[in-house]
Amino acid sequence: MMAASSSRSCLQYVFHLAQDNLDFRLPEILALLALREKPFHPDGKFKEKSPYWCLNGLSEVDVRAIMARSVCAKSAFELWGHGHTQSELRTSLLNYPSENMAPFMHKDSKYKINVYTFNKTLLFADRIKRIDALDYLPFEGTVSLKNPQHIFCMLEDYGSDPNNIPEHPNYIYFGRWIADGQRELIRSHSVKNRHFIGNTSMDAGLSFIMANHAKVKENDLVYDPFVGTGSLLVACSHFGAYVCGTDIDYNTIHGKGRSSRINQKWRGPDENIRANLRQYGIEKMYLDVMVSDASKSVWREAALFDAIITDPPYGIRESTRRTGSHKEITKPADGIYAESHVPVTQAYHLSDIFTDLLNFSAHHLVLGGRLVYWLPVYRPEYCEEMVPLNPCLQLISNCEQTLSSHTSRRLITMEKIKEPEDLDSLDHLADPRFSPYQGHNAFREKYFSGLNKRRGKEDNKSDFNVLPASSSPPHPFHLCPLLLSLFLKDELPEGGEGRCFGTMAPD
Protein backbone atom coordinates (compact mmCIF):
# COMPACT_ATOMS: atom_id res chain seq x y z
CA MET A 1 0.00 0.00 0.00
CA MET A 2 2.87 2.34 0.83
CA ALA A 3 4.54 1.56 -2.50
CA ALA A 4 1.38 2.39 -4.44
CA SER A 5 0.96 5.66 -2.55
CA SER A 6 4.58 6.60 -3.19
CA SER A 7 4.21 5.74 -6.88
CA ARG A 8 1.17 7.96 -7.29
CA SER A 9 2.93 10.85 -5.56
CA CYS A 10 5.70 10.90 -8.19
CA LEU A 11 3.60 11.37 -11.29
CA GLN A 12 4.19 13.48 -14.35
CA TYR A 13 1.52 15.74 -15.81
CA VAL A 14 1.12 17.17 -19.28
CA PHE A 15 -0.44 20.62 -19.68
CA HIS A 16 -2.19 21.56 -22.92
CA LEU A 17 -1.65 25.32 -23.39
CA ALA A 18 -3.73 27.68 -25.53
CA GLN A 19 -1.85 29.14 -28.48
CA ASP A 20 -2.72 32.78 -27.85
CA ASN A 21 -0.91 35.24 -25.59
CA LEU A 22 2.18 33.03 -25.78
CA ASP A 23 4.35 35.43 -23.77
CA PHE A 24 1.92 35.37 -20.85
CA ARG A 25 1.68 31.60 -20.35
CA LEU A 26 4.87 30.82 -18.47
CA PRO A 27 4.58 33.73 -15.98
CA GLU A 28 0.98 32.71 -15.28
CA ILE A 29 1.85 29.07 -14.58
CA LEU A 30 4.86 30.13 -12.48
CA ALA A 31 2.67 32.47 -10.42
CA LEU A 32 0.02 29.79 -9.87
CA LEU A 33 2.72 27.30 -8.84
CA ALA A 34 4.11 29.90 -6.41
CA LEU A 35 0.67 30.19 -4.80
CA ARG A 36 0.98 26.46 -4.06
CA GLU A 37 4.65 26.88 -3.04
CA LYS A 38 5.61 24.47 -5.79
CA PRO A 39 8.69 24.74 -8.04
CA PHE A 40 8.59 24.66 -11.84
CA HIS A 41 10.14 21.35 -12.92
CA PRO A 42 9.64 20.73 -16.66
CA ASP A 43 11.03 17.68 -18.40
CA GLY A 44 14.12 17.82 -20.59
CA LYS A 45 12.13 18.41 -23.80
CA PHE A 46 10.48 21.60 -22.54
CA LYS A 47 9.91 24.32 -25.15
CA GLU A 48 8.15 27.46 -23.99
CA LYS A 49 6.24 27.99 -27.26
CA SER A 50 5.05 24.37 -27.45
CA PRO A 51 1.36 23.61 -26.83
CA TYR A 52 2.32 20.75 -24.47
CA TRP A 53 4.37 21.05 -21.29
CA CYS A 54 5.35 18.06 -19.15
CA LEU A 55 5.82 19.01 -15.49
CA ASN A 56 7.23 17.00 -12.58
CA GLY A 57 6.94 17.28 -8.82
CA LEU A 58 3.20 17.98 -8.65
CA SER A 59 0.23 16.20 -7.10
CA GLU A 60 -3.22 15.91 -8.62
CA VAL A 61 -4.44 18.43 -6.04
CA ASP A 62 -1.82 20.92 -7.27
CA VAL A 63 -2.85 20.39 -10.89
CA ARG A 64 -6.54 20.87 -10.14
CA ALA A 65 -5.77 24.08 -8.23
CA ILE A 66 -3.79 25.47 -11.17
CA MET A 67 -6.51 24.54 -13.68
CA ALA A 68 -9.13 26.21 -11.45
CA ARG A 69 -7.40 29.54 -12.16
CA SER A 70 -5.47 29.40 -15.42
CA VAL A 71 -6.87 31.06 -18.54
CA CYS A 72 -3.74 30.20 -20.55
CA ALA A 73 -4.08 26.43 -20.08
CA LYS A 74 -6.79 24.39 -21.79
CA SER A 75 -6.46 21.08 -19.94
CA ALA A 76 -4.15 18.94 -17.81
CA PHE A 77 -3.57 15.18 -17.91
CA GLU A 78 -1.81 12.57 -15.81
CA LEU A 79 0.85 11.38 -18.27
CA TRP A 80 0.89 7.61 -18.75
CA GLY A 81 3.00 7.31 -21.88
CA HIS A 82 4.65 9.27 -24.66
CA GLY A 83 6.90 8.90 -27.69
CA HIS A 84 7.76 10.04 -31.18
CA THR A 85 5.90 7.14 -32.79
CA GLN A 86 3.03 4.82 -31.98
CA SER A 87 5.61 2.11 -31.31
CA GLU A 88 7.44 4.29 -28.77
CA LEU A 89 4.10 5.22 -27.19
CA ARG A 90 3.21 1.53 -26.83
CA THR A 91 6.54 0.74 -25.15
CA SER A 92 6.13 3.69 -22.79
CA LEU A 93 2.56 2.73 -21.84
CA LEU A 94 3.49 -0.89 -21.20
CA ASN A 95 6.26 0.29 -18.86
CA TYR A 96 3.90 2.52 -16.88
CA PRO A 97 3.21 1.04 -13.39
CA SER A 98 0.09 -1.12 -13.55
CA GLU A 99 -0.84 -0.11 -9.98
CA ASN A 100 -1.22 3.47 -11.22
CA MET A 101 -3.60 2.37 -13.99
CA ALA A 102 -5.67 -0.13 -12.00
CA PRO A 103 -7.94 2.32 -10.07
CA PHE A 104 -9.27 3.68 -13.38
CA MET A 105 -9.59 0.51 -15.47
CA HIS A 106 -11.50 -1.96 -13.27
CA LYS A 107 -14.61 -3.71 -14.58
CA ASP A 108 -17.07 -1.45 -12.72
CA SER A 109 -15.71 1.75 -14.27
CA LYS A 110 -17.09 3.77 -17.19
CA TYR A 111 -14.66 5.50 -19.51
CA LYS A 112 -14.06 7.06 -22.90
CA ILE A 113 -11.00 7.88 -25.01
CA ASN A 114 -10.54 11.11 -26.95
CA VAL A 115 -7.97 11.94 -29.62
CA TYR A 116 -6.77 15.56 -29.78
CA THR A 117 -4.47 16.89 -32.49
CA PHE A 118 -2.52 20.14 -32.72
CA ASN A 119 -2.07 21.72 -36.18
CA LYS A 120 -3.88 18.93 -37.99
CA THR A 121 -7.46 17.68 -38.32
CA LEU A 122 -7.98 13.92 -38.38
CA LEU A 123 -10.88 12.16 -40.04
CA PHE A 124 -13.27 10.41 -37.69
CA ALA A 125 -12.18 7.02 -39.09
CA ASP A 126 -8.53 7.83 -38.32
CA ARG A 127 -9.42 8.74 -34.75
CA ILE A 128 -11.18 5.41 -34.32
CA LYS A 129 -8.08 3.62 -35.63
CA ARG A 130 -5.95 5.40 -33.04
CA ILE A 131 -8.30 4.28 -30.27
CA ASP A 132 -8.57 0.69 -31.51
CA ALA A 133 -4.78 0.47 -31.61
CA LEU A 134 -4.74 0.86 -27.81
CA ASP A 135 -6.16 -2.65 -27.34
CA TYR A 136 -2.96 -3.63 -25.49
CA LEU A 137 -4.08 -1.55 -22.49
CA PRO A 138 -5.99 -3.52 -19.82
CA PHE A 139 -9.33 -1.66 -20.00
CA GLU A 140 -11.97 -3.80 -18.24
CA GLY A 141 -14.71 -1.23 -17.76
CA THR A 142 -17.57 -0.11 -20.00
CA VAL A 143 -17.29 2.55 -22.68
CA SER A 144 -19.60 5.49 -21.94
CA LEU A 145 -19.44 8.48 -24.26
CA LYS A 146 -22.09 10.52 -22.42
CA ASN A 147 -21.39 9.83 -18.75
CA PRO A 148 -17.84 8.51 -18.27
CA GLN A 149 -16.19 8.32 -14.87
CA HIS A 150 -12.75 8.60 -16.43
CA ILE A 151 -11.58 10.25 -19.64
CA PHE A 152 -8.37 9.25 -21.39
CA CYS A 153 -6.77 11.31 -24.14
CA MET A 154 -4.25 10.83 -26.89
CA LEU A 155 -2.53 14.12 -27.78
CA GLU A 156 -0.73 14.38 -31.11
CA ASP A 157 1.59 17.30 -31.87
CA TYR A 158 2.12 18.09 -35.56
CA GLY A 159 4.32 21.13 -35.04
CA SER A 160 3.44 24.80 -35.39
CA ASP A 161 3.84 25.40 -39.13
CA PRO A 162 0.41 25.27 -40.84
CA ASN A 163 2.12 25.33 -44.24
CA ASN A 164 4.25 22.27 -43.53
CA ILE A 165 2.14 19.71 -41.68
CA PRO A 166 3.91 16.34 -41.43
CA GLU A 167 2.13 13.09 -42.26
CA HIS A 168 2.92 11.64 -38.84
CA PRO A 169 2.97 13.51 -35.53
CA ASN A 170 6.22 14.87 -34.13
CA TYR A 171 5.25 13.62 -30.68
CA ILE A 172 2.42 11.71 -29.00
CA TYR A 173 1.16 11.79 -25.41
CA PHE A 174 -1.40 9.58 -23.67
CA GLY A 175 -2.87 10.20 -20.26
CA ARG A 176 -5.83 10.52 -17.94
CA TRP A 177 -7.72 13.81 -18.05
CA ILE A 178 -7.52 15.71 -14.75
CA ALA A 179 -9.20 19.08 -15.29
CA ASP A 180 -9.86 21.87 -17.78
CA GLY A 181 -8.57 25.42 -17.43
CA GLN A 182 -10.74 28.52 -17.15
CA ARG A 183 -10.94 29.50 -20.82
CA GLU A 184 -14.71 29.79 -20.41
CA LEU A 185 -14.15 32.95 -18.34
CA ILE A 186 -13.07 34.75 -21.52
CA ARG A 187 -16.56 34.23 -22.95
CA SER A 188 -18.65 34.53 -19.79
CA HIS A 189 -16.98 37.80 -18.76
CA SER A 190 -16.66 39.33 -22.22
CA VAL A 191 -16.91 43.12 -22.21
CA LYS A 192 -19.44 42.78 -25.04
CA ASN A 193 -21.95 41.68 -22.40
CA ARG A 194 -20.62 43.84 -19.55
CA HIS A 195 -23.15 46.11 -17.86
CA PHE A 196 -20.79 49.10 -17.64
CA ILE A 197 -18.02 49.66 -20.18
CA GLY A 198 -15.85 52.48 -21.49
CA ASN A 199 -13.70 53.17 -24.52
CA THR A 200 -10.79 51.32 -22.95
CA SER A 201 -12.37 48.49 -20.94
CA MET A 202 -9.83 45.70 -20.54
CA ASP A 203 -10.30 42.42 -22.41
CA ALA A 204 -11.61 39.75 -20.04
CA GLY A 205 -8.87 37.21 -20.79
CA LEU A 206 -6.09 39.71 -20.17
CA SER A 207 -7.79 40.87 -16.95
CA PHE A 208 -7.70 37.34 -15.53
CA ILE A 209 -4.11 36.86 -16.71
CA MET A 210 -3.12 40.03 -14.85
CA ALA A 211 -4.85 38.80 -11.69
CA ASN A 212 -2.97 35.50 -11.96
CA HIS A 213 0.38 37.21 -12.57
CA ALA A 214 -0.27 39.22 -9.40
CA LYS A 215 -0.98 36.00 -7.44
CA VAL A 216 -4.32 37.42 -6.31
CA LYS A 217 -5.95 35.06 -3.84
CA GLU A 218 -8.89 34.85 -1.46
CA ASN A 219 -9.20 37.71 1.06
CA ASP A 220 -6.44 39.78 -0.57
CA LEU A 221 -6.89 43.54 -0.82
CA VAL A 222 -6.34 44.71 -4.41
CA TYR A 223 -6.12 48.30 -5.62
CA ASP A 224 -6.31 49.86 -9.10
CA PRO A 225 -5.18 53.53 -9.17
CA PHE A 226 -6.48 53.98 -12.76
CA VAL A 227 -9.66 52.01 -12.28
CA GLY A 228 -11.72 53.19 -15.27
CA THR A 229 -14.78 50.96 -15.59
CA GLY A 230 -13.37 48.34 -13.22
CA SER A 231 -12.55 45.40 -15.49
CA LEU A 232 -9.52 44.49 -13.39
CA LEU A 233 -11.60 44.67 -10.21
CA VAL A 234 -14.02 42.16 -11.73
CA ALA A 235 -11.21 39.68 -12.43
CA CYS A 236 -9.59 40.02 -9.01
CA SER A 237 -12.86 39.74 -7.10
CA HIS A 238 -13.65 36.56 -9.08
CA PHE A 239 -10.67 34.99 -7.29
CA GLY A 240 -11.95 36.10 -3.87
CA ALA A 241 -10.09 39.39 -3.38
CA TYR A 242 -11.57 42.56 -1.93
CA VAL A 243 -11.18 45.33 -4.49
CA CYS A 244 -11.04 49.12 -4.58
CA GLY A 245 -9.80 51.81 -6.93
CA THR A 246 -9.45 55.48 -7.76
CA ASP A 247 -9.75 57.56 -10.91
CA ILE A 248 -9.50 61.25 -11.68
CA ASP A 249 -12.49 61.05 -14.04
CA TYR A 250 -15.61 61.98 -12.07
CA ASN A 251 -17.97 60.83 -14.85
CA THR A 252 -16.41 57.36 -15.01
CA ILE A 253 -16.41 56.84 -11.25
CA HIS A 254 -20.06 57.89 -10.96
CA GLY A 255 -21.23 56.32 -14.22
CA LYS A 256 -22.32 59.59 -15.78
CA GLY A 257 -21.84 61.26 -19.14
CA ARG A 258 -21.69 59.89 -22.66
CA SER A 259 -22.04 56.16 -23.22
CA SER A 260 -19.43 54.12 -25.08
CA ARG A 261 -22.10 51.85 -26.54
CA ILE A 262 -23.37 52.07 -30.07
CA ASN A 263 -26.89 53.54 -30.33
CA GLN A 264 -26.76 54.80 -26.73
CA LYS A 265 -26.03 58.48 -26.17
CA TRP A 266 -25.89 58.69 -22.37
CA ARG A 267 -25.09 56.22 -19.63
CA GLY A 268 -28.01 54.75 -17.73
CA PRO A 269 -28.79 55.34 -14.05
CA ASP A 270 -27.18 52.07 -12.91
CA GLU A 271 -24.12 51.94 -15.16
CA ASN A 272 -21.25 51.91 -12.68
CA ILE A 273 -18.47 49.68 -11.37
CA ARG A 274 -20.54 48.25 -8.52
CA ALA A 275 -23.15 47.11 -11.05
CA ASN A 276 -20.42 45.19 -12.94
CA LEU A 277 -19.53 43.18 -9.86
CA ARG A 278 -23.21 42.67 -9.10
CA GLN A 279 -23.63 41.28 -12.62
CA TYR A 280 -21.24 38.42 -11.78
CA GLY A 281 -22.51 37.82 -8.24
CA ILE A 282 -19.39 39.20 -6.52
CA GLU A 283 -20.65 42.55 -5.23
CA LYS A 284 -19.71 41.53 -1.67
CA MET A 285 -16.03 41.82 -2.68
CA TYR A 286 -16.45 45.46 -3.76
CA LEU A 287 -15.14 47.96 -1.21
CA ASP A 288 -15.48 51.25 -3.10
CA VAL A 289 -13.96 53.56 -5.67
CA MET A 290 -13.37 57.28 -5.40
CA VAL A 291 -12.33 60.28 -7.47
CA SER A 292 -8.64 60.89 -6.87
CA ASP A 293 -5.49 62.06 -8.65
CA ALA A 294 -2.92 59.25 -8.91
CA SER A 295 -0.08 61.79 -8.74
CA LYS A 296 -1.24 62.93 -5.28
CA SER A 297 -1.75 59.97 -2.99
CA VAL A 298 -4.62 60.15 -0.52
CA TRP A 299 -3.62 56.98 1.34
CA ARG A 300 -1.97 56.91 4.74
CA GLU A 301 1.67 55.83 4.88
CA ALA A 302 1.31 52.09 5.39
CA ALA A 303 1.62 48.81 3.51
CA LEU A 304 -2.06 48.34 2.68
CA PHE A 305 -2.39 46.29 -0.48
CA ASP A 306 -1.59 42.69 -1.39
CA ALA A 307 -1.58 43.60 -5.08
CA ILE A 308 -1.75 46.71 -7.25
CA ILE A 309 -3.04 45.97 -10.75
CA THR A 310 -3.60 48.69 -13.29
CA ASP A 311 -3.37 49.97 -16.84
CA PRO A 312 -2.20 53.60 -16.85
CA PRO A 313 -3.35 55.90 -19.66
CA TYR A 314 -1.19 56.09 -22.79
CA GLY A 315 -2.57 59.35 -24.19
CA ILE A 316 -4.14 57.61 -27.22
CA ARG A 317 -7.80 56.97 -26.48
CA GLU A 318 -7.80 58.91 -23.23
CA SER A 319 -5.64 61.86 -22.23
CA THR A 320 -3.04 61.71 -19.46
CA ARG A 321 -3.95 64.44 -16.99
CA ARG A 322 -3.38 65.34 -13.36
CA THR A 323 -4.62 68.18 -11.20
CA GLY A 324 -2.62 71.38 -11.19
CA SER A 325 -1.69 74.24 -13.50
CA HIS A 326 1.41 75.87 -14.89
CA LYS A 327 -0.31 79.22 -14.54
CA GLU A 328 -0.35 81.30 -11.39
CA ILE A 329 -3.62 80.68 -9.56
CA THR A 330 -5.03 83.48 -7.43
CA LYS A 331 -7.11 82.38 -4.48
CA PRO A 332 -10.73 83.59 -4.73
CA ALA A 333 -12.36 85.43 -1.90
CA ASP A 334 -13.64 83.48 1.08
CA GLY A 335 -16.90 81.67 0.40
CA ILE A 336 -16.49 81.65 -3.35
CA TYR A 337 -15.69 77.91 -3.62
CA ALA A 338 -18.70 75.84 -4.64
CA GLU A 339 -19.36 72.12 -4.32
CA SER A 340 -19.29 71.87 -8.11
CA HIS A 341 -15.71 73.14 -8.33
CA VAL A 342 -13.78 71.36 -11.08
CA PRO A 343 -10.01 71.39 -10.51
CA VAL A 344 -7.66 72.60 -13.23
CA THR A 345 -5.66 69.83 -14.89
CA GLN A 346 -2.33 69.71 -16.64
CA ALA A 347 -0.38 67.13 -18.66
CA TYR A 348 0.82 64.05 -16.77
CA HIS A 349 3.84 62.68 -18.62
CA LEU A 350 4.16 58.90 -18.97
CA SER A 351 7.59 58.90 -17.32
CA ASP A 352 6.06 60.62 -14.28
CA ILE A 353 3.09 58.24 -14.25
CA PHE A 354 5.35 55.19 -14.04
CA THR A 355 7.71 56.76 -11.50
CA ASP A 356 4.79 57.69 -9.26
CA LEU A 357 3.22 54.24 -9.70
CA LEU A 358 6.39 52.40 -8.68
CA ASN A 359 7.01 54.73 -5.74
CA PHE A 360 3.44 54.33 -4.57
CA SER A 361 3.72 50.53 -4.85
CA ALA A 362 7.00 50.51 -2.92
CA HIS A 363 5.29 52.30 -0.03
CA HIS A 364 1.85 50.71 -0.07
CA LEU A 365 2.37 47.07 -1.09
CA VAL A 366 2.91 44.47 1.60
CA LEU A 367 6.20 42.57 1.44
CA GLY A 368 5.85 39.96 -1.28
CA GLY A 369 2.94 41.87 -2.83
CA ARG A 370 2.94 42.38 -6.57
CA LEU A 371 2.51 45.29 -8.95
CA VAL A 372 1.17 44.41 -12.42
CA TYR A 373 0.78 47.11 -15.05
CA TRP A 374 0.96 47.79 -18.79
CA LEU A 375 3.86 49.71 -20.33
CA PRO A 376 3.32 51.06 -23.89
CA VAL A 377 6.42 51.05 -26.09
CA TYR A 378 7.48 52.11 -29.58
CA ARG A 379 8.89 48.83 -30.88
CA PRO A 380 11.74 50.15 -33.09
CA GLU A 381 13.27 51.82 -30.05
CA TYR A 382 12.44 49.29 -27.33
CA CYS A 383 15.15 47.96 -25.03
CA GLU A 384 15.00 46.50 -21.53
CA GLU A 385 16.43 49.70 -20.04
CA MET A 386 13.08 51.36 -20.84
CA VAL A 387 11.31 49.32 -18.13
CA PRO A 388 11.07 51.49 -14.97
CA LEU A 389 12.77 50.08 -11.88
CA ASN A 390 12.63 50.77 -8.15
CA PRO A 391 15.04 49.63 -5.39
CA CYS A 392 12.15 48.07 -3.46
CA LEU A 393 10.63 46.15 -6.39
CA GLN A 394 12.04 43.12 -8.19
CA LEU A 395 11.14 42.56 -11.85
CA ILE A 396 9.38 39.19 -12.16
CA SER A 397 8.22 39.10 -15.78
CA ASN A 398 7.99 41.26 -18.89
CA CYS A 399 5.52 40.05 -21.54
CA GLU A 400 4.80 41.67 -24.89
CA GLN A 401 1.43 42.12 -26.57
CA THR A 402 1.92 43.42 -30.11
CA LEU A 403 -0.51 46.17 -31.08
CA SER A 404 0.79 47.08 -34.53
CA SER A 405 3.95 46.85 -36.62
CA HIS A 406 5.47 49.73 -34.64
CA THR A 407 3.81 49.65 -31.20
CA SER A 408 3.20 47.16 -28.46
CA ARG A 409 2.54 47.15 -24.75
CA ARG A 410 4.36 45.08 -22.20
CA LEU A 411 2.79 43.54 -19.12
CA ILE A 412 5.22 44.24 -16.30
CA THR A 413 5.06 42.23 -13.07
CA MET A 414 7.11 43.31 -10.06
CA GLU A 415 7.30 42.05 -6.49
CA LYS A 416 8.09 44.08 -3.37
CA ILE A 417 11.26 42.74 -1.77
CA LYS A 418 12.01 45.35 0.90
CA GLU A 419 10.59 48.38 2.66
CA PRO A 420 11.57 51.88 1.43
CA GLU A 421 14.56 53.49 3.07
CA ASP A 422 15.87 57.05 3.12
CA LEU A 423 18.82 56.01 0.96
CA ASP A 424 16.50 54.82 -1.82
CA SER A 425 15.98 58.40 -2.95
CA LEU A 426 19.74 58.71 -3.41
CA ASP A 427 19.75 55.55 -5.52
CA HIS A 428 17.52 57.30 -8.01
CA LEU A 429 20.19 59.95 -8.41
CA ALA A 430 23.27 57.71 -8.34
CA ASP A 431 22.07 54.68 -10.32
CA PRO A 432 20.90 55.35 -13.90
CA ARG A 433 18.73 52.20 -13.78
CA PHE A 434 16.36 53.99 -11.43
CA SER A 435 16.12 57.20 -13.45
CA PRO A 436 12.82 57.74 -15.31
CA TYR A 437 13.07 56.98 -19.02
CA GLN A 438 11.97 60.20 -20.69
CA GLY A 439 11.39 58.51 -24.05
CA HIS A 440 7.99 57.30 -22.82
CA ASN A 441 6.72 60.87 -23.01
CA ALA A 442 6.85 60.86 -26.81
CA PHE A 443 4.87 57.61 -27.18
CA ARG A 444 1.75 59.35 -28.47
CA GLU A 445 3.66 61.27 -31.16
CA LYS A 446 5.57 58.14 -32.21
CA TYR A 447 2.37 56.15 -32.29
CA PHE A 448 0.65 58.49 -34.72
CA SER A 449 3.86 59.08 -36.67
CA GLY A 450 4.16 55.34 -37.36
CA LEU A 451 0.48 55.18 -38.22
CA ASN A 452 0.73 58.03 -40.71
CA LYS A 453 3.77 56.49 -42.37
CA ARG A 454 1.89 53.23 -42.88
CA ARG A 455 -1.15 55.02 -44.21
CA GLY A 456 1.04 57.07 -46.52
CA LYS A 457 2.42 53.88 -48.04
CA GLU A 458 -1.10 52.53 -48.52
CA ASP A 459 -2.19 55.82 -50.14
CA ASN A 460 0.70 55.63 -52.60
CA LYS A 461 -0.46 52.18 -53.66
CA SER A 462 -4.10 53.20 -54.09
CA ASP A 463 -5.70 54.72 -57.19
CA PHE A 464 -6.41 58.38 -56.42
CA ASN A 465 -8.33 58.81 -59.70
CA VAL A 466 -11.44 57.58 -57.92
CA LEU A 467 -11.52 60.85 -55.95
CA PRO A 468 -12.80 64.13 -57.36
CA ALA A 469 -10.02 66.58 -58.19
CA SER A 470 -11.14 68.95 -55.44
CA SER A 471 -11.21 66.34 -52.68
CA SER A 472 -8.42 64.85 -50.60
CA PRO A 473 -8.28 62.21 -47.87
CA PRO A 474 -8.68 63.76 -44.41
CA HIS A 475 -5.53 63.85 -42.33
CA PRO A 476 -5.97 61.99 -39.00
CA PHE A 477 -5.03 65.08 -37.00
CA HIS A 478 -7.84 67.05 -38.64
CA LEU A 479 -10.33 64.92 -36.72
CA CYS A 480 -11.42 65.47 -33.16
CA PRO A 481 -9.99 62.86 -30.72
CA LEU A 482 -13.32 61.05 -30.37
CA LEU A 483 -13.75 60.58 -34.12
CA LEU A 484 -10.09 59.68 -34.42
CA SER A 485 -10.50 56.87 -31.89
CA LEU A 486 -13.44 55.54 -33.89
CA PHE A 487 -11.64 55.66 -37.23
CA LEU A 488 -8.48 54.07 -35.86
CA LYS A 489 -10.14 51.44 -33.72
CA ASP A 490 -8.30 48.56 -35.37
CA GLU A 491 -4.94 50.19 -34.70
CA LEU A 492 -5.48 51.15 -31.07
CA PRO A 493 -4.96 48.98 -27.99
CA GLU A 494 -8.02 46.76 -27.67
CA GLY A 495 -7.57 46.30 -23.95
CA GLY A 496 -6.61 48.87 -21.41
CA GLU A 497 -8.33 50.06 -18.32
CA GLY A 498 -8.13 53.22 -16.31
CA ARG A 499 -7.65 55.97 -18.93
CA CYS A 500 -8.75 58.21 -16.11
CA PHE A 501 -7.03 61.51 -16.65
CA GLY A 502 -9.59 63.81 -18.15
CA THR A 503 -12.78 63.20 -20.05
CA MET A 504 -13.86 64.05 -23.57
CA ALA A 505 -15.62 67.40 -23.72
CA PRO A 506 -19.09 67.38 -25.27
CA ASP A 507 -19.29 68.35 -28.94
- pTM over cut 0.85: no
Q: Per residue in 272-321, pLDDT tens?
A: 999 999 999 999 999 999 999 988 888 999 999 999 999 998 866 555 66
Residue 21 backbone zone (phi > 0: left; psi -120 to 50: alpha; other: beta): left
- Domains, the chain: 12-181 (3.30.2130.30), 186-325+344-447 (3.40.50.150)
In the prediction, which pLDDT does 445 show? Answer: 79
Cβ neighbour number for residue 262 with a 10 Å cutoff? 5
Could you tell me the CA-to-CA distances from 407 to 24, 375, 443, 450 in Å, in that order? Answer: 18, 11, 9, 8
List Cα–Cα distances, 424 to 350, 359, 420, 428, 507, in angstroms. 22, 10, 7, 7, 47
> How far apart are alpha carbons 395 and 30 in whole angstroms?
14
All residues at 6 or more sequence positions from 97 whose CB lies less than 8 Å from its CB, including other chains: 7
Q: Report the chain (507 residues): mean pLDDT per 10 consecutive residues.
A: 48 96 97 97 94 96 98 98 97 96 94 96 96 95 96 97 95 98 97 86 96 98 96 98 94 81 74 94 96 90 96 72 58 53 69 93 97 94 92 96 92 97 67 69 73 56 40 36 36 38 32
Return phi, psi of residue 159, to 5°.
80, -175
Q: What is the pLDDT of residue 316?
A: 62
The predicted pLDDT at position 366 comes to 98
pLDDT for position 234? 97
**DSSP output for 16-66:** EE-SSSHHHHHHHHHHHHHHTT---EE-TT--TTSSEEEEES--HHHHHHH
Complete edge-to-edge strand list for the sheet that includes strand 393-402: 286-291, 242-247, 221-224, 305-310, 365-378, 407-416, 393-402
Q: Which of these, 383, 363, 242, 240, lies nearest to 304 by C-alpha position? A: 363
For residue 327, the model assigns a pLDDT of 57
Q: For Cα atoms 488, 403, 180, give the angle at the middle one, nearest 5 degrees.
A: 120
Q: What is the pLDDT of residue 334?
A: 57
Q: List, as one string, the DSSP characters of 213-262.
A: HTT--TT-EEEETT-TT-HHHHHHHHTT-EEEEEES-HHHHTT-SB-SST
